[in-house]
Structures are given as C-alpha cells and as structure tokens.
Amino acid sequence: MRKLNFEVLTLFPGILAGPLNESILKRGREKGFLNVTIRNIRDFTEDKHKTADDRPYGGGAGMVLKPEPIFKTFGVMKAEYPGEKFLTILLSPQGSVFNQQRAEQLTEEKRRIVLLCGHYEAIDERVIRTLIDEELSVGDYVLTGGELAALVVIDAVARLLPGVLGDEESAYRDSFGDGLLDYPHYTRPAEFRGLKVPDVLLSGDHDLIKKWRRKESLKSTLIKRPGLLKTADLSGEDREVLEELKKELENGS
C-alpha cells in the first residue's frame, strides 16, 4: 500500500485541524493512505514576541513574512527525515492554476509534499527563490491565507488515492475522469410537484441511458464551460454528437 505524505507549514494550524479530522480526509488518514503533518511557523520565530512578519523594504502598505522562521521550519522538518526528498509548493495567487490533471499527477508523487501557506500579502522573495519548487493557485481570487488553498489541494488529491473513497463514492468519481461536466441526476419520486424525471431514466434500457447521459454531459459542458472541450477525452461519436448539439443550440431548439 502506498501512502502520500503532506507537510503543511502555516501560522494558523487551527484552520487546518477541523477539515483534516472530518469525513473522508479523516478516514483516509486513519486507514493510512494519507499522512498530514502540520507545522506552526510561529514555533520557529526568534524573538519573545514571536514576530513572523515585518515592514517591506522600499516602503508601502502591508507586511511581509520574514524569511528566518520559514527557513528554520524547513530546516527542522528536513532534519526529521534524513535522506528524504521534498516537493515544495507555495500556495499563492501568483501560482499556476491547480486543476484535476495536477491533482492526478500529485497522487503519483514519491517525495514529501510541502505546502507553505502565507498569511500576509507577501512573503520574502528569498524564501520563494531558495526553498520553493512550484507556486500553485487554487483560482483567480485572493484569500486571507494559503491554508484554505492547501486544504483544497489535499482534498482533491486524497479522494483520488485508491482506498480513500468507499465503493459507492469511487464509482461516482471514476465516471468523471474524462474532463466533462456531470450529467443531470434524479431520484424518487418520478414526479415531484409536476416536475417529471426524463422518461429514458425509467425505461430500463441501460444502453440508451448511457447514451443520454453522455449527450447531457457534452451539452452541459458545451453551454457552461466550452473551454473544457479542448482537453476533454472525446470519442469520434462524442464529436458527432457535439456537432449536432451545436446546430440544435444555434436553432434555439
């Protein structure tokens, strides 16, 4: 059995504790598929006030995370794992945008994955140049800190590890590895306040249902996120269905 190892370096460990100790992440850790160590950067500050940030050279608003506590945290961490390798990631709005493909790649990572969370507008550039392999963003918006972004990365990767999800959950996951949006889902009753479930889903014709779902996935993707079609895993028949859908949508039918 393989295990993925994360090290999260943060000034606010409390933000991470809750989500890692609930539901699927908790189970994944308990079963030994996932290991997450949280390190408090403030434990490695040098002064009696435990100062982690300071004013920017050159002036201007906002504070900058000091290099010393971060370098020290890295030093202590590395000393705990002699001879081991690390992939160091900074969560930052300046990073390349995290996606399902990067999540899948990280499931294969053999090194310890270090997630450094900043909690101020900036981090001393010498940290980035010297300690960081990769900057990742979870989307084009600014958060108060990198902790929620780190949780997004851990969650997206953990659910892909074999054994972390139960059978029901992983059957659901497997059907969306193709880069398309989901098809519509319905459960009982067959009619609710006059709103009917599509007949095809009650037909018992599993071949027809499969085709309908695929077409609905393609339609939804075409309408809501057409850019995803460029990288989606599409068959020849998918492409034919897409051409039909484009014509239908042009006609407004």
| Catalytic machinery residues | 93, 121, 159, 174
Residue entry with tokens 């958060």: 143
Nearer to ligand 4G0, 119 or 219 (CB): 119
Nearer to ligand 4G0, 156 or 242 (CB): 156
Across 103-130, b (16+ Cβ under 10 Å) vs e yields beebbeeeebbbbbbbbbeebbeebbee
Binding mask 173-202 for ligand 4G0 (x = CB under 6 A): ------------------------------
* 123 touches ligand 4G0 (CB under 6 A): yes
Stretch that binds ligand 4G0, among 4-12, 84-92, 159-167, 228-236 (CB under 6 A): 84-92
Stretch that binds ligand 4G0, among 4-12, 75-83, 138-146, 166-174 (CB under 6 A): 138-146
CA angle (98, 100, 103) in 5-degree steps: 75
Q: Give the shortest CB-92-to-ligand 4G0 separation in angstroms.
A: 4
- What is the number of helices (H) and of strands (E) in the chain? 9, 10
* 145 touches ligand 4G0 (CB under 6 A): yes
Give the C-alpha separation, 113 to 109, whole Å. 8
Size of residue set near ligand 4G0 by CB under 6 A: 18
Query: Site for ligand 4G0 (CB under 6 A): which residue of 14, 75, 139, 226?
Result: 139
Closest CA to 227 of 183, 181, 167, 171: 181
Q: Give the shortest CB-94-to-ligand 4G0 separation in angstroms.
A: 6
* 143 touches ligand 4G0 (CB under 6 A): yes
Task: Give the start-end residues of each E strand in 122-223.
Answer: 122-123, 134-137, 191-192, 195-196
Q: Give the shortest CB-146-to-ligand 4G0 separation in angstroms.
A: 4
Nearer to ligand 4G0, 30 or 125 (CB): 125
Nearer to ligand 4G0, 51 or 235 (CB): 51
Tokens of 170: 């992983």
Rounded to the nearest 10°, the torsion over CA 217, 219, 224, 229 is: 70
Nearer to ligand 4G0, 90 or 222 (CB): 90
Give the C-alpha separation, 25 to 150, whole Å. 13
* 121 touches ligand 4G0 (CB under 6 A): yes
Give the C-alpha separation, 221 to 200, whole Å. 21
Nearer to ligand 4G0, 57 or 141 (CB): 141
Give the C-alpha separation, 57 to 182, whole Å. 49
Site for ligand 4G0, residues 87 to 106, rule: CB under 6 A: 90-94
- DSSP secondary structure code for residue 127 in this structure: H
Q: Rule CB under 6 A: which residues touch ligand 4G0?
A: 90-94, 118, 121-123, 137-139, 141-143, 145-146, 149
